[in-house]
Amino acid sequence: MLNQLSAFELIEGIGDKKFSSVEVAEAFVEQVEKRDADVNAFLRFDPSYVLDQAKAFDQKHSSNTAFGSLSGIPVAVKDVICVKGQVTSCASKMLEHFVSPYDATLIEKIKRADGILLGTTNMDEFAMGSSNENSAFSRTKNPWDTDRVPGGSSGGAAACVAAGMAPLSLGSDTGGSVRQPAAFCGVTGLKPTYGRISRYGLVAFASSLDQIGILAGDARDVALLLNESTGHDPKDSTSSPTDPADYMATLHGDVSGLKIGIPKEYLGEGLDPEIAESVRQARQTLEEMGVEFTEISLPMTSYGVATYYLVASCEASGNLARYDGAHYGFRTEKNVDAAENRLLEMYRQTRSEGFGAEVKRRIMLGTYALSSGYYDAYYLKALKTRRLIQDELNAAFKQVDLILGPTTPTPAFKLGEKKKDPLSMYLGDIYTVVANLAGIPAISFPSGFTQSGLPIGLQLQGPSFSEELILRTTCSFQKNTDWHTKKPAMVTGAAK
């Protein structure tokens, strides 16, 4: 079945005219129509829009006109990345009817590369959450066990790849929102270096942490899309001028002699024993490939979650202030004419009704931490701690080339299990937030399954702009293992 092939295999097949872009599109459309009622990965999906794009590409291909490297294969888009003429709601009532007037820079690149926009994937509202239960519209479920969460905030982006509904998917990662869902859903997810992919057209949550990321079945497919995603963008002041690499060309190099560190803090209290065993087995596999391991220490890891949730919430407080009902988006329908200050009451009612509980929680936390008398005690201290975390990681990368550890402390948890315990949910981000605080690249890749059949993901982190090395190491691991080839029953049709 075409929807079980990798993106790389689909591009090869279309290039060799073994099948057409329309046939590929039809295979994924069929899978979405067949399975998404069980998963809820997509918020918006229009089969005719998908097929029209595929037909246009096939006409170009048949006329021998030059075409882009994505060759008419589908790419799913998280509902936080602007697509011209399409609703970009951030899974929030606040932007439920907002139609983007422009394309994000990355969407422009994908269109130029002849990628097909498949649909808009579900997420935690404004990318705030780790379970995809904070969407204003529906809960996405894990394709491996629909009683469990897919992770968040890019839960729909990961779930659609795992469920065979998309070969490639775009997510965003502010504190682990690509890597945690990748781990929970058994796919590969990359958060690049901050500034590597333009953020123009990515709706802001926490501007110094947000990064567009890529989800796919394996490292080769991630590299394929990354090739089309990087490069300096003058429309994004944080876009790096560093020249992008050809990630596909360097994907298959030797990893023998590579030095990888495993922080002792990553294997301590709170880590699921089966995930700890997966780290040990992955280490053994990589050692057999010639990789050298050493134990390192990252004591600032224990401050990562607190630092992240202060910095991110403070930035969210400012970024989300624009949603007031005055210019665009949701506005309360309640009559506020009787209020002493009608404008202020309209703001209050609009934001109270338009935002969900988790978004309001973070706005309040950030506003409090930024307020007079608390700025120095909370926000300024968090910024200083962030710098210490960055310095500690920079020092570690003078000893080792990469850092290996778990992506998450536990496998996917049950729907509703942590919904009423935000602190427990936040602590699940302990291994992922430091990469965002430091701005370094990190990838999660499949490394096994629990006894109950849930995917396990491991994480590789590297110094800034080391995507080539991270992808090459992951690809080498995947050549020597088959965890990334495993698919849930809803894809293979196998009995549970």
Q: Tell me whether strands 74-78 and 116-121 are parallel, antiparallel or unpaired.
A: parallel
Q: Which of 6, 21, 71, 78 is catalytic?
A: 78
Say whether 313 is catalytic.
Answer: no
- pLDDT for 495 equals 47
Q: Are 232 and 18 in contact (CB under 8 A)?
A: no
Nearest CA-CA partner of 409 in 487, 304, 285, 481:
304
Nearest CA-CA partner of 178 in 480, 433, 399, 466:
433
Distance CA 343, CA 351 (A): 12
Q: Which of 89, 135, 153, 464 is catalytic?
A: 153
Q: Dihedral angle at the C-alpha atoms of 393, 394, 396, 401, nearest 10 degrees? A: 110
- Hey, what domains does the chain have and what are their CATH numbers? 2-256+467-492 (3.90.1300.10)
Nearest CA-CA partner of 320 in 241, 210, 430:
210
For 383-423, write each residue's pLDDT tens digit.
Answer: 999 999 999 999 999 999 999 999 999 999 999 999 888 88
- pLDDT for 494 equals 67
Q: Residue 471: is its pLDDT beyond 90?
A: yes
- pLDDT for 439 equals 98
Mean pLDDT score, 169-196 = 98
For 209-236, write each residue's pLDDT tens digit.
Answer: 999 999 999 999 999 999 999 999 999 9
Nearest CA-CA partner of 370 in 321, 311, 325:
311
Q: Which of 21, 177, 317, 476 is catalytic?
A: 177
Q: Residue 53: is its pLDDT beyond 90?
A: yes
Q: For residue 333, give both structure tokens.
A: 């329908």
Distance CA 387, CA 437 (A): 8
For 274-287, write each residue's pLDDT tens digit.
Answer: 999 999 999 999 99
Burial of 25 (0-12, 13-18, 19+ CB in 10 A): buried
Q: Are 81 and 172 in contact (CB under 8 A)?
A: yes
Q: Are 217 and 487 in contact (CB under 8 A)?
A: no
Distance CA 93, CA 296 (A): 45
153 preceded by a cis bond (ω within 30 of 0) = yes
Q: Residue 496: is its pLDDT beyond 60?
A: no
Work out the number of other CB atoms within 10 angstroms of the CB of residue 51.
16
Q: For residue 236, give both structure tokens.
A: 């994004």
Q: Residue 337: is its pLDDT beyond 90?
A: no
Say whether 424 is catalytic.
Answer: no
Q: Are 190 and 471 in contact (CB under 8 A)?
A: yes
Q: Are 484 and 217 in contact (CB under 8 A)?
A: yes
Spell out the residues 6+ positions from residue 188 whose beta carbon is closer than 8 angstroms to its own: 182, 215, 216, 217, 218, 219, 221, 222, 443, 444, 445, 446, 474, 478, 484
Burial of 269 (0-12, 13-18, 19+ CB in 10 A): exposed
Say whether 62 is catalytic.
Answer: no
List phi, psi (to 5°) of 45: -150, 120
- pLDDT for 7 equals 98
Q: Residue 441: is its pLDDT beyond 50?
A: yes
Q: What is the percent of the chain with per-residue pLDDT over 70, rounded to a whole number?
A: 99
Q: For residue 216, give both structure tokens.
A: 């796919």
Q: How far does CA 27 lie from the centroid of its chain?
A: 24
Work out the number of other CB atoms within 10 angstroms of the CB of residue 139.
17
- pLDDT for 253 equals 86
Q: Are 107 and 83 in contact (CB under 8 A)?
A: yes
Q: Are 279 and 418 in contact (CB under 8 A)?
A: no
- The mean pLDDT value of the chain amounts to 96
Work out the number of other CB atoms within 10 angstroms of the CB of residue 334.
13
Q: Residue 296: is its pLDDT beyond 50?
A: yes
Q: Dihedral angle at the C-alpha atoms of 6, 46, 96, 416, nearest 10 degrees? A: -50
Q: Residue 17: is its pLDDT beyond 50?
A: yes
- Band (pLDDT 50/70/90 cuts) for residue 339 is confident
pTM, whole model, 2 decimals? 0.96
